[in-house]
């Protein structure tokens, strides 16, 4: 079994090898799979999105944002609080314009700092995941800390260009996924 450090390195390289056209086409396929997933759960209203860091070839979640906007869902994202390095929850206006922060993360120009209490679904960034919903993130622990503050029944969805690993050894602070959506299907854990 590979260590988290080995998986992190391997998946960063895999992502780095993707051409921008591949990132876009796979992101659109993931969005189509998400739409199918959402059709069965149309009552969900409050969604927390991460936005892609281009240099890391992350899934382009702006396509998912478009779908959720069209369905009149309430959208949230996060920004890192510079004082305590925890994620703060921002409610997004419908026609949010974005700028790049110093880490290359798209951040809305206008947003409202809110409590995360209404969030029902969180899209969780990741590099790798396994058949049990364990994931490898970027190693900073921002999302594990953030997820601990949410209601236990919040639905946690990973987005990945790749199939799951057999098994990733979770650490005591890790919070697993409920689903992971790939270009081909939605995995349930």
Domain extent listing, the chain:
4-135+142-188
* Exposed / middle / buried, residue 112 (Cβ in 10 Å: 0-12, 13-18, 19+): exposed
CA distance 45 to 160: 23
Please state the residue numbers annotated as binding site for substrate: 58
For the CA atoms of the chain, what is the radius of gyration? 16
Please state the residue numbers annotated as binding site for ATP: 4-8, 135-143
CATH 3.40.50.300 for the 4-135+142-188 domain, yes or no? no
The tens place of each residue's pLDDT in the chain, 189 residues long, gives 889 999 999 999 999 999 999 999 999 999 999 999 999 999 999 999 999 988 899 999 999 999 999 999 999 999 877 777 788 899 998 888 898 888 788 888 888 899 999 999 999 999 999 999 999 998 777 888 899 999 999 999 999 999 999 999 998 888 999 999 999 999 999
Residues 6 or more apart from 34 whose CB is under 8 A from it?
64, 67, 157, 159, 181, 186
Contact predicate 121/44, CB 8 Å: yes
| Whole-prediction pTM | 0.93
Please state the residue numbers annotated as binding site: 4-8, 58, 135-143
């Amino acid at each position: 079994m590979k260590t988290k450090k080995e998986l992190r390195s391997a998946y960063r390289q895999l992502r780095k090898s993707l051409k921008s056209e591949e990132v876009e086409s796979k992101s659109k396929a993931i969005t189509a799979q998400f739409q199918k997933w959402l059709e069965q759960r149309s009552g969900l209203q409050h969604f927390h999105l991460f936005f892609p860091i281009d240099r890391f070839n992350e899934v382009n979640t702006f396509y998912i944002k478009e779908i959720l906007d069209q369905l009149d869902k309430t959208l949230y994202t996060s920004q890192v609080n510079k004082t305590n390095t925890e994620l703060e929850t921002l409610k997004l206006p419908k026609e949010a314009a974005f700028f790049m922060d110093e880490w290359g993360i798209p951040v809305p120009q206008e947003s409202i700092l809110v409590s995360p209490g209404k969030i029902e679904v969180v899209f969780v960034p990741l590099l790798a995941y396994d058949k049990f919903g364990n994931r490898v993130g970027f190693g900073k622990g921002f999302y594990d800390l953030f997820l601990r503050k949410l209601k236990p029944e919040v639905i946690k969805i990973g987005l990945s260009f790749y199939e799951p690993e057999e098994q990733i050894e979770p650490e005591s602070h890790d919070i697993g996924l409920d689903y992971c959506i790939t270009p081909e299907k939605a995995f349930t854990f």
